[in-house]
Amino acid sequence: MDGNATSQSNPPAANHGQSANAAAAPPPLPMPMDLGPVYDFTKMVSLKVGDTTFYVHKDIIIKDSAYFDRALNGPFKEGQSQSIEFEDIPSWAIAEYLRIKQESSHVPDYKLRGTHHIEGRQCLYPLVRLMELWQLADRFLDTKFMPLAEEALERQWALYSIAAWTHYYRSGQDATTLGLHTHCVTGCANMPPQVFAHVFPAIGGLDPDFQAEDDQQHDSQQHDSQQHDSQQQEQGDQEPSSAENQQV
């Protein structure tokens, strides 16, 4: 009897140990549906750009964006169809905006790094695109995206000095337009003063930097013209007249 009692008392002890181990075990990994809107396809909205349609979760697109919140939750046709169509935004901009929106919604302290990879090399993210993304965020009243773009822009500008950026401008793709810029400045400088004064105020004037270059070019041309006239006059004073030559 004692042996049987002992054998009967062993299983509860073993079960008690298993319960303790089970209590100490880590919780199971969450199922995909526990990860929020990434795996929830019941609240998808569409953004149409030309022939391209982008699908994104509604909670992601309206977060931090008063524009999308009003459009998709308001009494407008976009709110009824849960679809918005854009005619003046390039498809790459919407695609990039949505990619960053989704990444930043799940990554704490997300930073929009100003780099991308081309053929294994790390290159500067195009500044023009960063500025266009900032304009897009401003249009969408996105209070989270705008600081991300601003941080990336400031980080880019801080990489180089003013002299380095000037060299980059003069030696980069924009250098192909420097000749046209010079011709425009020269053309404005050669314009008669009365025509210049009549035309440009009517169209709102010139860009300040362009105006400064034009004024400098105009002053330089006037100086060269006056110097040329002075030299011609000096040569005329030194040479005898034709009447004097005949008398001689």
| Structural domain includes residue 238 | no
> What share of the chain has pLDDT > 70, as a percent?
52
First to last CA, the chain: 162
Give the tens place of pLDDT for each residue, 26-67.
Answer: 666 554 445 555 555 668 999 999 999 999 999 999 999 999
Residue 3 has pLDDT above 50, yes or no: no
Q: Are residues 113 and 204 in the same domain?
A: no
pLDDT at site 5: 44
Structural domain count, the chain? 2
* Integer angstrom CA distances of residue 86 from 36, 49, 57, 89: 28, 5, 18, 6
Lowest mean pLDDT among 50-59, 88-97, 182-191: 182-191
- The predicted structure's pLDDT at residue 231: 72
User: Distance between CA 226 and CA 139 in Å, rounded?
Assistant: 53
217 and 128 co-located in one domain? no
- Give yes or no: residues 136 and 171 share one domain: no
Work out the mean pLDDT of the chain and round it to a whole number.
Answer: 73
Question: pLDDT tens digits for 193-241?
Answer: 666 666 666 545 556 766 677 667 667 766 776 777 777 777 666 655 5
Q: Are 184 and 91 contained in the same domain?
A: no
Give the span between the Cα atoms of 178 and 105, in whole angstroms: 43
Q: Which of 40-44, 62-66, 95-99, 162-166 has the lowest mean pLDDT?
A: 40-44
The answer to whether residue 14 sits within a structural domain is no
Mean pLDDT of 102-121: 70
CATH number of the domain to which 144 belongs: 3.30.710.10
pLDDT at residue 9, as a whole number:
45
118 with 86, same domain? yes
What's the domain range around 203?
161-228
Residues 62 and 148 in one domain: yes
Whether pTM exceeds 0.85 = no
241 domain-assigned: no
Same domain for 155 and 167, yes or no, is no
If asked whether residues 151 and 183 sit together in one domain, one would say no
| 78 and 181, same domain (yes or no) | no
Whether 172 and 58 share a structural domain: no
